[in-house]
Amino acid sequence: MKEFLLLFRQANYDYSNATAEKMQVLGKKWQQWVEGIYAQGKFVSHGPRLAQEGKVLKEGGIITDGPFVEIKEKLGSFIVVKAESLEDATTLAHGCPAIDEGGSVEIRPVYGS
């Protein structure tokens, strides 16, 4: 099996205004989805939540605010999964709560796995 990164992009939504109940429901959805991948023996690891602020360094020493100045989504976090192919990894991404909240999941092979 190969390893794939599932990178969660979330709609530019301010969760600081969400009710405790909404956050609890959303947290449970995430937990159940990841546990389903784990139960299949395909969960490898997870990354921490990513901060929203940052900088991007480009050729020529150009620094911009970022890291997402050009897009309307923000990076939330990521997990690494095992799958036979990119198509199988994409199937694992179905049901991700980020999608229900207007976000997306980017699926990429991890080289060297």
pTM for the whole structure: 0.79
What's the rounded mean pLDDT across residues 19-43? 93
Strand (E) or helix (H) holding 25: helix 20-39
pLDDT for 104:
87
Rounded Cα distance between 14 and 52, Å, is 11
What's the rounded mean pLDDT across residues 17-36? 90
> In terms of CATH, what superfamily is 2-109?
Dimeric alpha+beta barrel (3.30.70.1060)
What's the rounded mean pLDDT across residues 82-87? 95
Q: Which residue has the higher pLDDT, 11 or 33?
A: 33
What's the rounded mean pLDDT across residues 65-93? 81
Rounded Cα distance between 68 and 79, Å, is 20
- The SS3 call for residue 42 is coil
pLDDT digits (tens, 9 = 90+) for 35-73: 999 999 999 998 877 766 777 777 888 777 765 555 556
User: What is each CA distance from 47 to 76, 87, 107, in whole angstroms?
Assistant: 10, 22, 15
Rounded Cα distance between 5 and 105, Å, is 10
pLDDT for 35:
95
Q: What percent of the chain has pLDDT over 70?
A: 86
